[in-house]
Structure 1
Amino acid sequence: MAAQGEDYRPAFPPKTKPHISTGIPFPEAAAHHITSTYHASKVYIIVSNSISKTENFTLLKKALGDKIVGTRLGIKPHTPWDDLLEIIKDIQTKGADSIITLGAGSLTDGAKVITLALANNVSTLDGLSTLTKEAQTPDLKAPQIPVINIPTSLSGGEYQSLAGATDKRNDHKAGFQHPEMGADLIILDPALSVTTPAQIWLSTGIRAVDHCVEGLCSLDPKAGEQSDKGFTEGLKLLVPNLLITKKNWDAEEPRLKEMMGVIEAMKGVQSGVPMGGSHGIGHQLGPLGVGHGETSCIMLPPILKYNYSHGDEKVKKLQQKVLDVLWGEKAVADVLTSKGLKKETADAGDVVGTVISELGMPRTLKDVGVERSQLDALAENCLKDPWLKTNPVPLTEKKQVLEVLEMVVGDGKSSL
């Protein structure tokens, strides 16, 4: 049941999970649903280290009061299993009956794995191994503890029943998935997002744009009218409003539209449409210390250019869908025109790249500390990612990946 003044509804009807909450401050929403929706009395909070030092965290603690039984400050990047086991044991010791995450990224993924582990009585490294997708353990029990995510980025991980976490014994980032895994409630508060660093907010916004663009350009049979609707609406909400946010940081209305754009993008993803080379190469840039949003900023334009130059007319026609959406938004068209682009001649790589540059995000591997000497090993690792094969022009050979990477090395010899 909604609180007074709150918009409370399913993100993906007719599915009832997750619900989204907008319209009231996040501490008020969290306290209301902990009590009235989940009837919980022992809340465990996982909060990012940076947010834990802010007034926002103080307000959440004040709203929940003595219902808080435990707090975890941060989970390290790429969600190490050791961190998760520490939290699992702490939750078990304190008898928590609900989890709230305040932050994004590793916290969101971590909560998913934690609830799956708790449901299956797992509290060791070997036990976590049995929960991975690779293990294919039959009849895993569904998570039982309700999870509330209060995200501070636009990456959209809170809308998926998939999580990644790293076994530091071999540095392998394993996938975990269960149809019932993930947030029960996602509280969206644009006022909270104002405190997110610009690099994180804007780059994760481009990550959501990447979902839309690679989704619209997919040749997979699952792609079609239904998925296109979500991806198209996502682009319309995300790109113009990211440009507005860049210029007017404190404005809350465009931020809420961006959050809605993430939901539309994830509707498309939930149709089962696979992503392409930008996502696939991005997965392997992550272990090199590159943020998920930054990988999309760097890799999406060259992938679009590679696909356009090596693809057939069908590939080019799919890219035209992206161009039609972006040129159709005045805020976007004004920026493109001001940078000298023409609707008749600019390709999708040019257009998307110009938007990313206008947001001040990184465009080359050098910008994020990846050197030319690392490209060979990077290309080898990229070929293991399944989304390289679902790229509109399948990337199945090392030389293809290197051709894409070469465009964005950033050492003065790159072509993009």
Structure 2
Amino acid sequence: MFFITVLATALLSIAGLVIASPLDTRQTATITPPAQYYLRTKVVNGAHKDTGSNKTNLYVYSYHTGAGLGDAALSSNSSRAWIGYLNGTQQLMTYAGNKVGPWPLSVFDVPYQEWNQVTISVASTPDYNPGFFFNSSGLQYNGSTGGWLACDWWHGVPQLFQVNGYLNNGFGLLKYNAKDRIAFRVEIIKLFVEDDIFLSIFCLLQVFAQRHWTRPSDDLMLRALQTKAHLSSARTTGINITNFAIRQTRAKSSKMDSSLHPLTGLYKPNNLKALYYGPNVVKDHLLSALPTETSKAFIITGSSLATKTPLIKTIEELLTSKHHAGTFSNIKQHAPVAQLDEATEIVKKDDTIDTIISVGGGSPIDSAKAITYRVNEAAGKWLLHITIPTTLSAAECTAGAGFTQSDGVKTGIAHPNVYPQYIFYDPKFGAYTPPHLFLSTGFRALDHAVEAQYHPTTTWIPCRLVALNAISELFKLLPKYKANPKDEDTITGLFLAAYATLAYFGLNVKGGLGLSHQLGYALGSPYGIPHGITSCLTLGHVAKLKARQSSDNAENVAAILPYIGGKRSGDDVADADAVGDKILGLVEELGLKTTLTEKGVGKDQLDVICARATGGLTPQKENSQQEEETLKAVRGLVEKLW
């Protein structure tokens, strides 16, 4: 059966709500944002029992995929809903009273694909955000649209997508990892926060539950609907809808997925100005990295480095009172938001501070990024970020920052300008890190490199190829470090290998790294397990599981084998299994093998862990077939961790 694509974008005018005059152009006019609202889906042609997956009355929220990165996901749980409002030309979304966000809702234009990914991410910038804006016809998009799709996707939860062309001739099902995913055309409903009334924005409705679209006979995509509505306190009435056709155009985008077949991709470099590595680079070059002769730097670190090593005192003495504005040394594991708030307030009160120096592992580095982001939000200025890592977590290699909310759930921010401008890999600093911690963070770096191989937007050059060589170096140097943890060349080599696992993701990569990282978030901050250890628990098993999800994943994981001392057999699944076995073997060789039982996590937490890792899937819910497959696979993996 064929369904034609109908309906497009509309703005409902509401009696009693005051909105500024409509915009005539995006470039020259501004508006007063309307009231805040939730966004919720509605499938207009009734329930769809063919998949067992309900796509009606799902709230839009940002599914955390990395520090400050999020995909637009859908949940029946209203407590997850993010609040939306229009700010000039952007649809912004925020959560929990602006504790997270506001972040733009963005649509990625993806060549070679008939549908686009929708994100709610602080990393979104105008160069790839089509945006939302007002004109005399109502709510509009910049560029063509074929409507909204709600589809179960790789996170294991429904996600929001946008059609960018004609889905026909076999393109009826969205595909991921060679599996068909049934998508539904939905409308988006506004539920106003202040008035508790419903306002429908008919954004290209129409259910899609079959394998094909019918192309409109005039070969034009239907775009926008003008509509008027009269609202009572509880319901919407009197809706008039008219539609008009527009030319099919596409907003210019600098985002795209990468592919090996055909060989396609996009790499956007980060904002790093210089990377120093080797003994004494901090002593020899730190002051030259300060932006001015009168710069004031604030140090962010943890209590262990400040009280149990001479490192922080060494930096303070290098800076002298001329450049040292203060030190905050209470950053704890997983960067709890309470300490982050405290440090931010100190920095905000001193207008002379123009530089943040983070010293330590992922928590101080991520905290420094979050502080620079918050200071810019408050004062409109970006602080220079210099980092001196002491672990191999590679937090210095991303433009995002993760921190832990008061409920134990990890969230974050991201922006190109929080990427450290200067990195100092000094083995004399790394030598103070306890060997067990240094080794486990090296395994976290290995996790980055392995999951880069099957991430949909990592490029072959430089990301995947460099990461393959990083995997080889980590397999070689981690055992060497275990044998002699004071060897400075080995420490420096490991720093550089860790850098290579993540730095070349660039600013193009969107979405989370993969299942091993998602499981790490589910296990890490909620149970107090360091992320290096979560990677030791999960990575080998995830590599085996990914190989059974699709032939592409099997090929990508199997490609690692020659870099870790194996030989390809021609059977990708078998070779990927061998990669998983070698990863698990390295865990044992390094003395890092552990279990959830040893970490104090009871088996009664199985459903909780799986729900966190899959975006809320549980056996108690009515799941679609795809969701059941995802949940079964993840449960089987997690059960092996006890």
TM-score (norm 2): 0.52
Identity value in percent? 26
Residue 298 of structure 2: which of 44, 50, 53 is its match? Answer: 44
Q: 1:317/1:395 Cα in 2 relative to 1: closer, same or farther (>3 Å)?
A: farther
Hey, what does 2:168 align to over in structure 1? none
Shift of residue 305, structure 1, vs aligned partner:
2.4
Hey, what does 1:194 align to over in structure 2? 431
Hey, what does 1:402 align to over in structure 2? 635
Q: 1:43/1:307 Cα in 2 relative to 1: closer, same or farther (>3 Å)?
A: closer
Residue 489 of structure 2: which of 241, 253, 277 is its match? Answer: 253
Confirm or deny: 8 A CA contact 1:77 1:106 kept in the other structure.
yes
Residue 227 of structure 1: which of 463, 470, 473 is its match? Answer: 463
Hey, what does 1:28 align to over in structure 2? 283
Shift of residue 14, structure 1, vs aligned partner:
6.2
Deviations 1:209-230 (A, max 9, x none): 11111222x1626453543212
| 2:528 pairs with 1:289 | yes
In 1, the alpha carbon distance for the partners of 2:333 and 2:613 equals 20
Please give the residue correspondences for 1:73-152 in structure 2 after superposition, counting only pairs within 5 Å: 73-94=329-350, 95-121=352-378, 144-152=382-390
Residue 480 of structure 2: which of 222, 244, 265 is its match? Answer: 244
Task: Return 5+ residue gaps in structure 1 as ranges.
Answer: 1-11, 123-140, 330-342, 387-392, 410-416
Confirm or deny: 8 A CA contact 1:26 1:150 kept in the other structure.
no
Confirm or deny: 8 A CA contact 2:561 2:576 kept in the other structure.
no
Task: Give, as a single letter, the amino acid of the residue that structure 1 aligns with 2:340.
Answer: L
Deviations 1:92-145 (A, max 9, x none): 3333222111112211111111111111217xxxxxxxxxxxxxxxxxx5x521
In 1, the alpha carbon distance for the partners of 2:473 and 2:556 equals 20
Shift of residue 51, structure 1, vs aligned partner:
1.0
Q: 1:163/1:102 Cα in 2 relative to 1: closer, same or farther (>3 Å)?
A: same
Residue 57 of structure 1: which of 291, 306, 312 is its match? Answer: 312
Shift of residue 346, structure 1, vs aligned partner:
6.8
Shift of residue 352, structure 1, vs aligned partner:
0.7
Shift of residue 181, structure 1, vs aligned partner:
1.4
In 2, the alpha carbon distance for the partners of 1:344 and 1:22 equals 35
Shift of residue 365, structure 1, vs aligned partner:
1.9
Structure ranking higher in strand proportion: 2
Residue 327 of structure 1: which of 560, 565, 568 is its match? Answer: 565
In 2, the alpha carbon distance for the partners of 1:353 and 1:277 equals 16
| Bigger radius of gyration | 2
Task: Return 5+ residue gaps in structure 2 as ranges.
Answer: 1-266, 568-573, 618-625
Hey, what does 1:307 align to over in structure 2? 546
Moved more, 21-30 or 172-181: 21-30
Matched positions, count: 356
Moved more, 259-268 or 207-216: 259-268
Shift of residue 300, structure 1, vs aligned partner:
0.6
Structure ranking higher in helix proportion: 1
Deviations 1:253-276 (A, max 9, x none): 121111111221114433527522
TM-score (norm 1): 0.78
In 1, the alpha carbon distance for the partners of 2:270 and 2:456 equals 24
Q: CA RMSD in A?
A: 2.8
In 2, the alpha carbon distance for the partners of 1:221 and 1:70 equals 40
Task: Give, as a single letter, the amino acid of the residue that structure 2 aligns with 1:290.
Answer: I
| 2:587 pairs with 1:356 | yes
Shift of residue 360, structure 1, vs aligned partner:
0.8
Deviations 1:57-82 (A, max 9, x none): 22222211112121111212322332
Q: 1:63/1:243 Cα in 2 relative to 1: closer, same or farther (>3 Å)?
A: same
Task: Give, as a single letter, the amino acid of the residue that structure 1 aligns with 2:596.
Answer: L
Shift of residue 193, structure 1, vs aligned partner:
0.8
